[in-house]
Chain A
């Protein structure tokens, strides 16, 4: 929760600085250069590769466990597709890409802001941060109403780190391995799916 507030704080500080025009104009209009984005994606992957849990986790991956992130992704995309079909705004590609953030608000907003536009980047940030906060707050209810797997689904990519403690607490210890695997797969899928969506849609 604290991390999401810090992130929102930086975003809000940026808005304030932009409103007050305290910063040079070129900084406001220029998009971040593509290689900066590539550097970020590389860093994200380095941090995952260096995760001390990785060796244990990879050994526990079974085909049936991999179905969990596949279902989470398909459900998310189906929901986003329905939203795009019902409301039309902000367009099919943007809506699907925003959904494909799977709660990973930092990477998805930066990536979508770069590949599509600033508006879509902002929607991606707010939408995916809501998903994380919803999971943090509603996991006890989700488990009671929809079973132990529900918070792993709603947590999406965050199930491997930020929402893991709350999932472990309410879904039980036996769900943590599934949560980490699902979160890991969805974290890696986020940049791939988003770039695929903008490539083909």
Chain B
């Protein structure tokens, strides 16, 4: 956890320093995208090669959908409270 915070702070700092070198920034964006594609391909590979997970894919999909629904409902409800608390003055 601490190492992740350190990586985030270091990364934002590095990004800030190189922000004017557009070619470097573009290179890091491409590298990040490529990395994500590769990691997700590997995640899929692990799923495809595991017959147990293929059997469970419906359950996993339903769980994903259910969690998304509850998370969305929770955040939208929190938004209603937030706009009362924070933006009350603007609304009038």
Contacts of A131 in B (CB 8 A): 68, 71-72
Evaluate contact between A192 and B13: CB separation under 8 angstroms. no
Contacts of A14 in B (CB 8 A): 40-48
Evaluate contact between B8 and A45: CB separation under 8 angstroms. yes
Given contacts A40-B35, A44-B11, A128-B68, contact A27 B42 (CB under 8 A): yes
Contacts of B83 in A (CB 8 A): 147-149
Cα–Cα distance between A90 and B3 once the two chains are bound (Å): 27
Question: Which residues in window 1-39 of B have CB below 8 A to A?
Answer: 1, 3-5, 7-19, 24-25, 28-29, 31-32, 35-37, 39
Q: Give the residue name and chain of the A residue nearest to B78 (CB).
A: A75
> How many chain A residues have a CB neighbour from B under 8 Å?
92
Q: Give the residue name and chain of the A residue nearest to B65 (CB).
A: A130
> How many chain B residues have a CB neighbour from A under 8 Å?
68
Cα–Cα distance between A43 and B15 once the two chains are bound (Å): 9
Given contacts A17-B48, A127-B65, contact A47 B25 (CB under 8 A): yes
- What string of 1s and 0s marks CB contacts (under 8 Å) between B77-91 and chain A? 111111101110000
- What string of 1s and 0s marks CB contacts (under 8 Å) between A20-60 and chain B? 11010101110010001011111111111111101000000
Contacts of A130 in B (CB 8 A): 64-65, 68
- What string of 1s and 0s marks CB contacts (under 8 Å) between A188-199 and chain B? 100110011001
Evaluate contact between A195 and B40: CB separation under 8 angstroms. no
Evaluate contact between A110 and B36: CB separation under 8 angstroms. yes
Q: Select B75's contact among A12, A46, A52, A72, beta carbons within 8 Å.
A: A72
Evaluate contact between A44 and B44: CB separation under 8 angstroms. no
Contacts of A183 in B (CB 8 A): none
**Interface check A76, CB cutoff 8 A:** yes
Cα–Cα distance between A19 and B29 once the two chains are bound (Å): 31
Contacts from B to A (Cβ < 8 Å): 1, 3-5, 7-19, 24-25, 28-29, 31-32, 35-37, 39-50, 53-54, 56-57, 59-61, 63-68, 70-83, 85-87
Given contacts A42-B14, A43-B31, A153-B78, 12 further A-B contacts (CB under 8 A): A17-B45, A49-B11, A72-B79, A75-B77, A75-B78, A79-B73, A110-B36, A125-B43, A127-B68, A134-B68, A134-B72, A149-B87
Contacts from A to B (Cβ < 8 Å): 6-7, 10-21, 23, 25, 27-29, 32, 36, 38-52, 54, 64-65, 67-68, 71-72, 74-80, 82-83, 87, 89-90, 95, 98-99, 106-107, 109-110, 113, 118-119, 121-128, 130-131, 134, 142, 146-150, 152-154, 156, 188, 191-192, 195-196, 199
